[in-house]
Amino acid sequence: MKKIKKWLIIIIIVILIVLCFIIFNRKNNFSKAGYSEKEINKIVKMVSKDDYNYFYKKYDDSLIDLISSKDYKKNKFKEYIKYYEKNSNSKISDIVTIVNSGYDLMDYPASSLLASLVKEKYYINSNVARYLDYGNSNKISSKKIVSIVNADADLDFYSKTNEAKLSDNNLILVNKYNHLPDGYEPDDLVTLTSKYNSGRNSSMRKEAAEAFMKMVDGAMLDGITLKNASAYRSYSYQVNLYNSYVLRDGKEKADIYSARAGYSEHQTGLCTDINTIDDSFDGTDAAKWLKDNAYKYGFIIRFPKDKENVTGYKYESWHYRYVGEKAAKIIFDEDLTLEEYYAFYVLNKKTT
């Protein structure tokens, strides 16, 4: 037993001697490269042993700045180095932020703009080149850059158009970049009764109509009167309406408040203009009630205030669109437009 204890003691002593030698040798290597005792202690704490060689080569204060960054992650050291070697004149904090994002951005130069973009909640990596192009040409916040580009609003209106996907059903996106198929008319239109309607265009798709009637009934309990003033409009109806506005105000002005035929949400049967179709509706009790409650019934204000550069249309306090309760709540809570929601949650397939 005594012999076993003796051998254990000898083994422990040998291990301690070896460890001391290794530690001394490492510190000696760091010291030879020019690092101070304080810096060596930080390296040992913040860097994996496999990565010590980067520090042995020569003193590099940028490496110290890197491992001192508040967002530094030990397991991403090699990625930082790879990106830093391509962007040695950039801010260390930007490099760390961009690498930490997890997006593949090695081929993009590090910049404060890119670092701010990747932190945005609705950032989509496939749009990064357009974000940077737009951001470098327009001195606006990264949040606005992401919103505008995700909505395709960095492109000229009607310049790049696609056929809207009918399979998106309640989330179908119809705007200045997405048009309905030729001859489209919903096959489940129902007509609203006089209790819910006061206008000429009184039809909506079945699900939207049922939600609208439920919303009108809910508002009535709060002493608020809501009625549809204009819902479904056919292609031919929109042709005549839009052309009348062009004759009156010119095409440039008409495009701000009216959709061209085939590009109108009204043709989907999913939207409704409520009560008064003009600016006098804004600020009314009905408008205030809708702003606070419409999402509970699956409706969103389609062209919100201060989002004109995203939607392409002026603020319309009376124009509401049915998208379903789940999407409407997210759009309401996050202050999104349908364009922003669609880009992130439908095209980008982010789960909600």
What token pair was written down for 20?
A: 């001391």
| 300, pLDDT greater than 50 | yes
Asked if residue 166 and residue 146 are part of one domain, the reply reads no
Q: What share of the chain has pLDDT > 70, as a percent? A: 91
CB 81 within 8 A of CB 54: yes
Which of 92, 127, 150 is where one domain is finished? 150
Instruction: Decide if 42 is inside a domain.
Output: no
Instruction: Decide if 51 is inside a domain.
Output: no
**The domain spanning residue 222 has which CATH number?**
3.30.1380.10
Asked if residue 341 and residue 230 are part of one domain, the reply reads yes
- Residue by residue, DSSP assigns 135-186 as HHHS---HHHHHHHHHTTTTSPTTTS-EE--GGGGGG---SSSEEPPTT---
Q: What is the pLDDT of residue 28?
A: 64
The domain in which residue 91 lies consists of 83-150
Tell me the residue ranges of DSSP E strands in 155-252.
162-163, 178-179, 189-191, 197-201, 203-205, 228-230
Instruction: Decide if 329 is inside a domain.
Output: yes
Asked if residue 270 and residue 240 are part of one domain, the reply reads yes
Q: What is the pLDDT of residue 54?
A: 86
Domain count along the chain: 2
Q: What is the mean pLDDT of the chain?
A: 91
Asked if residue 310 and residue 225 are part of one domain, the reply reads yes
Asked if residue 132 and residue 175 are part of one domain, the reply reads no
Asked if residue 175 and residue 135 are part of one domain, the reply reads no
Asked if residue 335 and residue 227 are part of one domain, the reply reads yes
Instruction: Decide if 9 is inside a domain.
Output: no
pLDDT tier, 5 (very low <50, low <70, confident <90, very high otherwise): low
Asked if residue 188 and residue 322 are part of one domain, the reply reads yes
Nearest Cα to 271, choosing from 330, 196, 212, 331? 212
* 23 Cβ contact partners less than 8 Å away, ≥ 6 residues apart: none
Look up residue 17 and give its amino acid.
Answer: I
Instruction: Decide if 293 is inside a domain.
Output: yes
Which of 150, 181, 200 is where one domain is finished? 150
Instruction: Decide if 87 is inside a domain.
Output: yes
What token pair was written down for 229?
A: 């003033």
What token pair was written down for 329?
A: 């709540």
CB 48 within 8 A of CB 77: yes
Radius of gyration of the chain measured on its C-alpha atoms: 30
Asked if residue 130 and residue 205 are part of one domain, the reply reads no
Distance spanning both ends of the chain, measured CA to CA: 66
For 39-93, the pLDDT digits (tens) are: 888 888 999 888 888 888 788 889 999 999 999 999 999 999 999 999 999 999 9
Full-model pTM: 0.87
Instruction: Decide if 71 is inside a domain.
Output: no
For 159-197, the pLDDT digits (tens) are: 889 999 999 999 999 999 999 999 999 999 999 999 999
Asked if residue 271 and residue 131 are part of one domain, the reply reads no
For 10-32, the pLDDT digits (tens) are: 555 545 444 444 444 556 678 77
Residue listed under structure tokens 């819902």: 231
Instruction: Decide if 203 is inside a domain.
Output: yes
Asked if residue 122 and residue 173 are part of one domain, the reply reads no
Asked if residue 195 and residue 333 are part of one domain, the reply reads yes
